[in-house]
Structure 1
Amino acid sequence: MAKEAVITLSDVDVQFREKNRSVHAVDHVDLTVERGDIYGVVGYSGAGKSTLVRTINLLQRPTSGAVNVLGEDMLALSPKQLRGERKRIGMIFQHFNLMNSLTIADNVAFPLKGIKPKAEIDQKVQEMLKLVGLEDRATAFPTELSGGQKQRVGIARALASDPEILISDEATSALDPKTTSSILELLKELNETLGLTIVLITHEMEAVKQICNKVAVMDAGRIIERGSLLDIFAKPQEQLTKDFIDTTLQLDAAIESVRKQPAVAHLQGADQLVRLTYLGASTDQPLVATLYKDFNVTANILFGDIQILQGTPFGNLIVVLSGTQADIDRTFKYLADNDVQVQHITTEAE
């Protein structure tokens, strides 16, 4: 049964005029986000990801294209209607955007002022602060909080209007790794308990790996690759995607270290240095033992890593395969038949 699309961007294009040149920030992009997704949009600085996501609530109007959110044609709305629809789309930012002159409670209450009675606002603020674990800091001011606590206030404020969608625009970029992890876990919890659909904008594939179920990779205003988290990690097609993943899994450093090992420096005959990537059921197979028992090929493991993505084991091995060329060729066929990806690694840095 198909899930409901809550965000549909169709052929969205954004161009800016800068002095004597035109900047193509978003280049004819299509994007569909379904209800309940935690959809990661990842790319380096300047890739166009923040501009793209700001078209969802029309903080950035596209030069052309269509924007449909929660069943509404956003570009057809009057200013008053648009203000109403924006309440259904919460947003959190890298630098928190809190008002230092207001208490934490007043920061969270700010979007509700003049809309709801004071008693109702007070109750909502209390609920939101409890939700993000800050019920004891209601009377504090932003300057008294840590970066992680400030971002929790930002999340509470964004949720005060009961949005169905939450946009996180580099919301963890200013935080240390441990705090980042706790904020991401909070977002995942909100996704599960509130049914909140989240669009996560980031330049850190680690954040995507931790909580997203779908990923789009952006470069130069275009989405160059998209898919489920598992597909993107197990079978990346574009070099930029591979670079992101290898950096996140620290495989670049592992390969450089492996190249310096004596086992690699003195490869014999048909010996080959390869990276094996496997997912799910493949990780349950006694892979190395099978290669030796069935194909007379030994696998000298120089690096190994298994992680859990969306509840599914995902593994990488860097090995030297030794045997006759015919046996190694049969091994490669066996690995392909068992959905194990094989990447040949050069013994010298390229």
Structure 2
Amino acid sequence: MGEPIIKLDDIVVDFTTKDHDLVAVNHVDLTVDKGDIYGIVGYSGAGKSTLVRVINLLQRPTSGSVHVNGQDILSLKDAELRQARKKIGMIFQHFNLLNSLTIEQNVAFPLRTSKLTKAEKKQKVDELLELVGLADKKDSYPRQLSGGQKQRVGIARALANGPDILISDEATSALDPKTTEAILNLLRDINEKLGLTIVLITHQMEAVKQVCNRIAVMDTGKVIERGEILDIFSKPKQPLTKAFIDTTTRLDATLKVIYQQENVRNLPASDKLIKLSYVGASTDEPLISTLYEKFNVSANILYGNIEILRGTPLGNLIVILTGAAADTDAALAFINEQDVQVTELDPNTQSEVID
């Protein structure tokens, strides 16, 4: 564990309307370490954006404590809070650029109250535009840029005051997949070059998978699961987390096709439809051939996928195991011993078999 730069304790955010009361954030704790890229993922209405706005008090909590950069943010007076907020940059889904200003002027806008000289401000803006790959666009206007270029301007502007923390609130949601990948790569580069702490709010598990080190999954105002990215992807505990992961790996769509295959629909009672999930060194083992050699159990592979996550192989196999019942049971016990997660699938209910 590193040094915490953000520490939210027992945060509650209530909204009262004419018709009803809404608990947007429900007793949430969150700790983000300095220099980390931390993802907060959840569907619309989960409370993730409300929670993150508590970090710089754009949303004051109903109760709880907020410590950022070692400061008790809730105790700060207005002038002190304005200074603290300069160390927390934000980028948004819809860019929030000023259309009447050039790109150079947009990036310089947060520096209007800075004590830097005019020459120092210009140098700062030039460096930031170079960093985000838009040095040749400084005299252009937002309407002349693509969505990805606008978001790069938003990132440069968010970095103008030299923040320690960058909050990305659904910043890639309006972009196509290729542009999203480029923006996420840029954020990762900025994290590495500047040592910046990044908090990424998104409903896209693909974005989390690409750049985050740790994640929290939110649902109806609560954090339902959190941990290292590799642990979450290899062994998700909550159904919602699993659903997010299956969507990003396209395993859910693959299973729909598999369940319609004739050999699966007419699966003999003695056969088993199995999903194998494995991580790290487990992916290097010749598992399938070993099943036949040791247990006389054959495996018909219907689907296989391996991807690299934080430098570690992570894979899934869907297979039909065929053999005598006792042999199949012994083979499954052997697989479990290899640190491979085994999930039996039921073609009739098109779901996992729960013991």
Given the two structures, how large is their TM-score scaled by the length of structure 2?
0.97
In structure 2, how many angstroms separate the alpha carbons of the residues matched to 1:107 and 1:124? 13
In structure 2, how many angstroms separate the alpha carbons of the residues matched to 1:297 and 1:269? 15
Matched residue, 1:189:
189
Q: CA deviation at 1:20?
A: 3.1
In structure 2, how many angstroms separate the alpha carbons of the residues matched to 1:106 and 1:68? 33
Matched residue, 1:321:
321
Task: State yes or no: 1:178 paired with 2:178.
Answer: yes
In structure 2, how many angstroms separate the alpha carbons of the residues matched to 1:175 and 1:291? 45
Q: CA deviation at 1:51?
A: 0.1
Matched residue, 2:39:
40
In structure 2, how many angstroms separate the alpha carbons of the residues matched to 1:256 and 1:114? 57
- Residue-by-residue CA offset, 1:76-124 (whole Å, 9 max, x unaligned): 1111111111111110000000000000000000111131211110000
Cα RMSD over matched residues? 0.9
1:51 partner letter: T
Matched residue, 1:17:
16
Matched residue, 2:213:
213
Which runs of structure 2 are paired with 1:20-169 in the superposition (5 Å)?
20-115=19-114, 116-169=116-169
SS of equivalent residue, structure 1 residue 345: strand
Matched residue, 2:202:
202
Q: CA deviation at 1:291?
A: 1.3
- Residue-by-residue CA offset, 1:296-328 (whole Å, 9 max, x unaligned): 211100011111111111101110011112122
- Residue-by-residue CA offset, 1:233-265 (whole Å, 9 max, x unaligned): 110111111111111111111111111223212
Q: CA deviation at 1:21?
A: 1.3
2:206 partner letter: E
Matched residue, 1:331:
331
In structure 1, how many angstroms separate the alpha carbons of the residues matched to 2:76 and 2:200? 25
In structure 1, how many angstroms separate the alpha carbons of the residues matched to 2:309 and 2:74? 37
Unaligned runs of 5+ in 2: none
Matched residue, 2:226:
226
1:225 partner letter: E
Aligned length: 349
In structure 2, how many angstroms separate the alpha carbons of the residues matched to 1:335 and 1:40? 32
In structure 1, how many angstroms separate the alpha carbons of the residues matched to 2:185 and 2:148? 12
1:244 partner letter: F
Percent of matched pairs sharing the same residue: 62
SS of equivalent residue, structure 1 residue 160: coil
Matched residue, 2:271:
271
Q: CA deviation at 1:58?
A: 0.5
SS of equivalent residue, structure 2 residue 171: coil
Q: CA deviation at 1:330?
A: 1.5
Given the two structures, how large is their TM-score scaled by the length of structure 1?
0.98
Q: CA deviation at 1:195?
A: 0.9
1:50 partner letter: S
Q: Which moved more, 1:292-301 or 1:98-107?
A: 292-301
In structure 1, how many angstroms separate the alpha carbons of the residues matched to 2:113 and 2:21? 41
In structure 2, how many angstroms separate the alpha carbons of the residues matched to 1:19 and 1:233? 41
Q: CA deviation at 1:230?
A: 0.7
Q: Which moved more, 1:58-67 or 1:318-327?
A: 318-327
Q: Which moved more, 1:72-81 or 1:256-265?
A: 256-265
SS of equivalent residue, structure 2 residue 346: coil
Matched residue, 2:256:
256
In structure 2, how many angstroms separate the alpha carbons of the residues matched to 1:206 and 1:23? 30
In structure 2, how many angstroms separate the alpha carbons of the residues matched to 1:218 and 1:266? 39
1:255 partner letter: L
In structure 1, how many angstroms separate the alpha carbons of the residues matched to 2:293 and 2:192? 45
1:26 partner letter: V
Runs of 4+ in structure 1 deviating by more than 3 angstroms, as ranges, are none
In structure 1, how many angstroms separate the alpha carbons of the residues matched to 2:179 and 2:59? 30
SS of equivalent residue, structure 1 residue 133: coil
1:304 partner letter: G
2:122 partner letter: D
Unaligned runs of 5+ in 1: none
1:167 partner letter: I
1:339 partner letter: D
2:48 partner letter: K
Task: State yes or no: 1:287 paired with 2:297.
Answer: no
